[in-house]
Structures are given as structure tokens and as C-alpha cells.
Homo-oligomer: A and B are copies of this chain.
Amino acid sequence: MLPTDDADRVAPARHAPPTGVLKRPPTIKDVAALAGTSHKTVSRVLNDEPNVRPEMRARVLDAAAALGYRRNTAASSIRRRDQRTASIGLIVEDLATAFASRLTRVVQDYALKRHHLVLVGSSDGMLDRERALVAEFSSRRVDGLLVVPSGPDHSYLEAHRQRGTPVVFIDRPGRRIKADVVVSDNEQGVRDAVRHLAAHGHSRIGYLGGCESVYTAARRNAGYRAATREHAGSWDQRHIRTGMRRSSDAYRATLALLDQTPAPTALVCGNNLITAGTLRALQQRGLVNRVAVVGFDDNELAHLGQPGLSVVTHDIPAIGNHAAGLLFQRLQQPTDCRNEHITVPTTLIPRPGGDPGGLPRCAPRERSYYTG
């Protein structure tokens, strides 16, 4: 390229060019030229540094606006002392799920208020995908990481922390590493569900839960056992089934529970997949409004007023805000090394089956659907 690097410019720099005539994004040098000052002064203005005459400041801002100037954050971050990129990484299991997308939305809103951007990735529950995403985010020099962890070992994140990238786990703790974590109160959630059903006169309350190897499932299963102990004597061990992986597992298990004598009059489901299978089974037996069901996890069905289905929901805004809050706290005070473990209460949303025609007690989330 020739010494005069104006070759790719449409208008000569000496005249004030109309907006957007550059083939490439304008730089502070372009702004400086238009404002008739040095690029350092432009930098001062754009970074709200002191010691700039108001008149000069206005001239620079005008020039920047006229050119549609936007700071190149890449160039900014490599030069600045703290190397900060004003971005954080978030790894979820599957962004296409309701939990992950709502969590992401909350985190993004939190970050955007602080002029940070969120890079998101889906691990699909696979550790190698998680590590690949962390590596990708690391290339982008994210200032911090929020991770819904997958797999048996997250000690690899220790290196990132030592380099100044704080890590906060969400929904379950990382393994083989000590770090901040924000989880739902899964155990209490199931206890609330059982208590709710008992308060409505149910004495035979069945439970369908997931695998003990899954952190949240284990906590929920423990919650059911705890509730059983609380009401000792009035529960039947034959009414508990755990280890379910698919909705079809729950479908079959529900049919088996219903075939028992006496059969449970109410069922608590440990997650949405299980709820789906259980509802199919109840439908098949024509028991949809006869057997009470409390599901776990947020469920669109409940918001549409599905009769007879109550749900224990995650408080996703609280989870997201706590996690993001912890991360930004670490970003501001990198010295503080206490590992916090925050447990967020769940919410029981009752949907009594006795009033199927009524409006749902909680207004449906109008914005949770695509309405284009």
C-alpha cells in the first residue's frame, strides 16, 4: 500500500465528508481529522477523561456523530491496562430450552445495563463441547464465565481463574473445583409440592424422579424422602420411582403406579420430561382430572391453565441476577476469594383441577411466546 493510506477513501479528508462514505468503519484518526485535532484528544473525549475544553469536546463529539464513529472494542481491549473486553461468556446446556433462554435473557439484561455483552453457547451436556466453548470464549478474552457445568471434572477452569477470569457455576456446582455457585432449592421445592398436596387432603402421594447421578435430580429425590420422613407412617415406599431418563420411562412408571392397590391419588414429577410422560399416562387412563399432579421446572402447560397441573418453578430471574451479580462482584474485587453458594427458593404455582374453567391464578406469560 502507498504511504498515503487514503486510497480506499471515497471523499478527501480535508472536506467534511457526509455520513457513511468510508468503505471501512471510521477510526479516531478520521474523527480527529474532521475535528481538526489529534487522535489522542479524541480518545480523551470518548473516554470521558478530564482536561478537555468544552468547545473541543463538542467539536469531537460532532465529528464522531457525523461519521457514525464507533469505538473498536478489540483495539481498545488489547491496549488497555486491564485488558478488559466488556464481555462475559455464558454456557448453558441447550439455549433452545425454556430454562436456558430465559436465564440468558436475564443475564444479558443484567450485563447490558453495565455495558457488557454476553457470549452464549450450548454444551448439550457434553464436557468436550463445554471445553471447546470455554476455549472459544477465552480467545475472545471474556472478562468472566457463567457456566451450567456438564461432566465429571471442571478443574480445567482453575487456569482461567488464575489468569483473572472469575467463574460462577449455575444450577449445579462444578466438580473437582471450588467456585461460586447459584442453585435452585430443589429439595425444598419437592417438599413444598408434597406439603401442598397433603394440605389438599392427599395421603397417597407418589413420586417420579430422575437419576441420582444428576445433581438436581438427586436433590429433588432427597426432598421427597425428607418429606416422607416428616410425615412418617403415612407414605408408601412403593409409590416412589427414580432413575427415569425419558418421558417414556415416566409414562410406563406412572401406569405401574396407577395399577397398584391402593393407587396414589397424587403424583409429584421430578422434571418436565417426567411430567410429560406422566400426563400421557393419565390421559390414557382417563385420570387427567382425577389424579393431582405437581410438576417440576417451569411448564408452558401450566401457564395455559392445564387443569389439575401445579408446578414448582425455578425463579430464573433470581438465579440469573444472583449469578451475574456474583460475577460482576468478582470482576470489581478480584482479591475476594470466598466461594459463595447461593440457594434460590423455588415457587409453587397451584392450578387446582377442581376449577378447570377458571382463569389461571397467575396471568399467563404473554411475552413467553413468539407472536410475530
Q: Interface of A with B (CB < 8 Å)?
A: 19-20, 22-25, 68, 70-75, 77-78, 83, 85, 87, 93-102, 104-105, 108-109, 112, 117-122, 135-136, 138-141, 148, 158-159, 162-164, 171-172, 210, 214-217, 246-247, 271-273, 276, 279-280, 283-284, 286, 297-301, 304-305, 307, 314, 356-357, 359, 364, 366-372
Contact = CB atoms under 8 A, between A and B. Distances in A.
Given A100-B370, A298-B370, A299-B300, 7 more contacts: A24-B83, A74-B75, A94-B367, A96-B101, A96-B367, A104-B120, A118-B120
Instruction: Give 5 closest A-B pairs by Cβ, nearest first.
Output: A99-B370, A101-B101, A20-B159, A74-B74, A300-B300
Contact of A93 (B74, B95, B159, B372): B372
Contacts of A97: 101, 367-370
B371 A272 contact: yes
A20 B70 contact: no
B283 A73 contact: no
A202 B23 CA distance: 59
Most buried by B among A73, A98, A102, A372: A372
A74 B70 contact: no
Contacts of A216: 372
A102 B96 contact: yes
A101 B95 contact: yes
B271 A371 contact: yes
Contacts of A70: 135, 138-139
Contacts of A301: 300-301, 304
Contacts of A118: 120
B117 A119 contact: yes
Contacts of A101: 95-98, 100-101, 104
A354 to B, nearest CB: 13
Contacts of A120: 104, 108, 118, 120
Contacts of A93: 370, 372
A137 B308 CA distance: 46
Nearest to A183: B372
A145 to B, nearest CB: 13
A46 to B, nearest CB: 11
A211 to B, nearest CB: 10
User: Which of A93, A95, A117, A299 has the largest count of B CB atoms less than 10 A from its CB?
Assistant: A95
A148 B100 CA distance: 20
A243 to B, nearest CB: 14
A280 B139 CA distance: 50
A101 B272 CA distance: 18
Given A97-B368, A172-B372, A141 B273 contact: no
Contact of A359 (B117, B135, B159, B280): B280
B96 A368 contact: yes
A93 B372 CA distance: 9
